[in-house]
Amino acid sequence: MTDLSIVALTGALLLTGLLVAGVFASRAWSQWLEVRKLELASGRPQADEPIAPAAAGTDRIELADLKARIRKLEAIASGIDL
């Protein structure tokens, strides 16, 4: 075999391998998307979604922050300097 035919054969094999890997990756991506659709359709909370107690804790922090702001505004309105 000549050098040119070896290079052509190697190139063809590499392109074939790349094509097979691309088809495999495409099918894997499609199947992963299908799994995610089914998980979202199930209605159960996902692992990356916050759960209710964490959200309640955040609400408490925001409520405490608002109360502190109200106290400061009331102090300013009554003429008391903090």
Mean pLDDT for each consecutive 10-residue tract of the chain (82 residues)? 90 97 97 92 71 62 88 86 60
Number of domains in the chain: 2
The whole-number pLDDT of residue 75 equals 87
Question: Look-up: residue for tokens 């190139």?
Answer: 11
Say if residue 44 is in the same domain as residue 58.
no
Say if residue 22 is in the same domain as residue 41.
yes
Say if residue 34 is in the same domain as residue 64.
no
Say if residue 40 is in the same domain as residue 55.
no
Domain extent at residue 24: 1-49
